[in-house]
């Protein structure tokens, strides 16, 4: 039996099946959200998503079968690439849905901020997990916190400057999850948390655009039961909560033509990504949306489970960062569709339409899978089978 075949057999197939089941349901949901739209780009969005799934599948298995030790030399280039591309997107100022966060390369348009998030996870895992081996200076908790915080603040500031408040906020739970796993004393983390809380008013008054502040104030007014303009600033929030509530337990039915979405009340260009949970809730109802959340929770728990079996701290930190990313996206996306969080425009992992985010999610799941495949016991079994072309540890 070849080492490559051993790796394939040794994969965590529960994670694989869970991920691809979510992706398949996501393609179905994208088709349902766009099939009655007038624009061909929305009607055919599910076809393009399938193409991204095929590309992502190659990336997932490559990341799974190659030993994740490449992070020791590859984390910084990925991080710098994401930061530089995000700066180019900011300079290009191509605004999509109010976000100056997209780059066009030939026929492909992508969002560099997603690459920056992935690069940040890789770099922070490396800094907190192995930098202390280089010099005793890096063992100081404040130094470790400073390195981690600095690595997060740079892309966070760039993405916030692009006007993409939702993607910027993702950096916070990712950093928090990785710092918690980074063997840093609690008292030091408390200091950082207090500094972060003190920055919230500054971020609100000076870091947000007027339309972003309006979304937050509208959300607070709706929670407080105050009158809002349902044909103006509160339009999207009003109709997505109507869609979720009208679905009931069993939903109105798949491809029902009388749904609030198909009647055109949910913003058409965001129905396939930012508001796809509301579309699913209206057509499929509470039972299916509860199952969807459970499947996403199982994926997150798999990341934490695999972290326990990691052969080193870098692997545990990678798993924690990926889990933090998925949690942030699921919590914020579902929360804003249920109107318990402000609308920030953030996709649902593996479900929402979007090639960049899907590829990044599949790549990160592949990294988690690599940590499982190359854990201590599995690594020894693979070594006994002979040298592996996919093992780059030298």
Per-residue pLDDT, 238: 87
Instruction: Give the mean pLDDT of 265-289.
Output: 92
Predicted TM-score (pTM) of this structure: 0.90
Burial of 382 (0-12, 13-18, 19+ CB in 10 A): buried
pLDDT over threshold 80, residue 381: no
Q: Which residue has the tokens 């592996």?
A: 388
- In this prediction, residue 380 carries a pLDDT of 59
Q: Which residue has the tokens 């500031």?
A: 157
The reported pLDDT for the residue numbered 94 is: 54
Confidence band for 145, pLDDT divided at 50, 70 and 90: confident
Look at residue 79 and tell me whether its pLDDT is greater than 70: yes
Enumerate the domain spans of the chain: 73-208
Name 162's Cβ contacts closer than 8 Å, sequence gap at least 6. Answer: 86, 89, 90, 99, 100, 101, 113
Give the whole-angstrom CA distance, residue 217 versus residue 223.
Answer: 10
**Residue-wise pLDDT tens digits, 43-54:** 889 999 999 999
Query: Residue 384 has what pLDDT?
Result: 60
State yes or no: pLDDT of 393 exceeds 50: no
Residue 189 pLDDT: 79
Q: What is the pLDDT of residues 8-45, one digit of tens each?
A: 888 999 999 999 999 999 999 999 998 888 788 888 89
pLDDT, one tens digit per residue, over 58-75 is 999 999 999 999 999 999
* pLDDT score of 354 more than 80: yes
Mean pLDDT, the chain, whole residue set: 87
Task: List the one residue out of 139, 142, 162, 161 whose CA is nearest residue 150.
Answer: 142
pLDDT digit string, tens, across residues 211-235: 778 888 888 888 887 888 788 888 8
pLDDT-based confidence at residue 1 (cuts at 50, 70, 90):
low
Question: What are the angstrom distances between the C-alpha of 206 and each of 104, 161, 268?
Answer: 29, 11, 31
Instruction: Work out the number of other CB atoms within 10 angstroms of the CB of residue 16.
Output: 17
Share of the chain above pLDDT 90, in %: 49
- Gap between the Cα atoms of 295 and 23, Å rounded: 11
**Tell me, what's the pLDDT at 368?**
97
What tokens does 77 get?
């280039």
What does each C-alpha distance from 215 to 221, 228, 344 come to in angstroms? 10, 11, 8
Say yes or no to pLDDT of 204 above 80: no
């Amino acid at each position: 039996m070849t080492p490559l075949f051993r790796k394939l057999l040794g994969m965590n197939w529960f994670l694989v099946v869970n991920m691809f089941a979510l992706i398949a349901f996501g393609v179905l949901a994208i088709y349902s959200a766009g099939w009655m739209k007038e624009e061909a780009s929305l009607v055919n969005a599910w076809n393009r998503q399938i193409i991204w799934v095929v590309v992502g599948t190659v990336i997932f298995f490559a990341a799974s079968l190659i030993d994740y030790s490449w992070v020791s030399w590859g984390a910084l280039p990925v991080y710098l690439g994401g930061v530089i591309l995000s700066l180019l997107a900011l300079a290009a100022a191509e605004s999509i849905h109010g976000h100056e966060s997209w780059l066009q390369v030939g026929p492909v348009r992508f969002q560099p901020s997603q690459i920056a998030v992935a690069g940040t996870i890789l770099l922070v895992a490396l800094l907190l997990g192995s930098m202390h081996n280089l010099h005793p200076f890096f063992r100081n908790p404040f130094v470790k916190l400073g390195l981690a915080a600095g690595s997060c603040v740079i892309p966070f500031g760039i993405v916030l400057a692009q006007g993409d408040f939702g993607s910027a906020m993702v950096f916070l739970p990712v950093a928090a999850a990785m710092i918690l796993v980074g063997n840093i004393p609690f008292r030091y983390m408390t200091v950082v948390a207090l500094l972060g809380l003190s920055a919230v008013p500054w971020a609100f008054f000076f870091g947000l655009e007027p339309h972003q502040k309006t979304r937050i104030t509208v959300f607070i007014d709706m929670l407080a039961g105050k009158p809002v303009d349902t044909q103006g600033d509160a339009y999207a929030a009003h109709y997505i909560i109507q869609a979720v509530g009208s679905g009931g337990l069993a939903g109105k039915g798949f491809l029902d033509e009388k749904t609030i979405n198909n009647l055109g009340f949910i913003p058409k260009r965001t129905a396939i990504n930012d508001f796809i949970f509301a579309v699913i809730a209206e057509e499929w109802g509470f039972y299916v949306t509860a199952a969807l959340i459970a499947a996403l929770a199982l994926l997150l728990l798999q990341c934490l489970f695999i972290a326990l079996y990691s052969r080193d701290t870098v692997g545990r930190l990678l798993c924690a960062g990926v889990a933090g990313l998925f949690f942030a996206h699921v919590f914020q996306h579902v929360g804003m569709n249920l109107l318990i969080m402000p609308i920030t425009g953030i996709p649902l992992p593996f479900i929402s339409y979007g090639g960049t985010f899907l590829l990044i999610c599949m790549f990160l799941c592949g990294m988690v899978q690599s940590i499982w495949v190359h854990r201590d016991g599995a690594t020894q079994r693979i070594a006994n089978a002979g040298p592996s072309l996919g093992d780059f540890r030298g």
